[in-house]
């Protein structure tokens, strides 16, 4: 369903260690907006909702709501750093167009 690179998993662990809460999940969602129609939203969350699917990758627990599942099937999440700083990179094989920022996309 979702593949995390080792770099993405390491960065998520680093960010999670800075949270005041100990038992938290990564929440990945797709929301309407952005240049291409949809954008990715990542956050930390303690609550599992009824329509959430729990996915495990590299020891990271990821929550995805049922509405977002169709948009991120086979998503690859990576993390890299360059001269402008670090950031998560979303590689969505189902996207037919992406914005220059790489976070906004459209699907047929």
Tell me the domain boundaries of the chain.
Answer: 2-107
Q: Write out pLDDT tens, residues 44-90.
A: 999 999 999 999 999 899 999 999 998 888 899 999 998 878 899 88
CATH number of 2-107: 2.60.300.12
List, edge to edge, every strand of the sheet that includes 85-92.
Answer: 2-4, 75-82, 85-92
- Tell me which of 18-22, 29-33, 34-38, 41-45 is least confident: 34-38
Residue 26 has pLDDT above 90, yes or no: yes
Q: What is the pTM of this model?
A: 0.84
Residue (of 57, 70, 2, 3) closest to 30 by Cα position: 70
């Amino acid at each position: 369903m979702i593949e995390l690179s080792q770099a993405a998993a390491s960065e998520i662990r680093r960010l999670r260690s800075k949270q005041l809460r100990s038992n938290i999940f990564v929440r990945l969602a797709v929301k309407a907006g952005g240049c291409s129609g949809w954008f990715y939203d990542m956050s930390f969350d303690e609550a599992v909702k009824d329509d959430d699917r729990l996915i495990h990758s590299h020891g990271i627990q990821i929550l995805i709501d049922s509405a977002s599942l169709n948009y991120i099937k086979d998503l690859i999440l990576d993390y890299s750093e360059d001269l402008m700083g670090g950031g998560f990179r979303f590689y969505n094989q189902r996207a037919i167009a992406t914005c220059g920022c790489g976070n906004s996309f459209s699907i047929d």
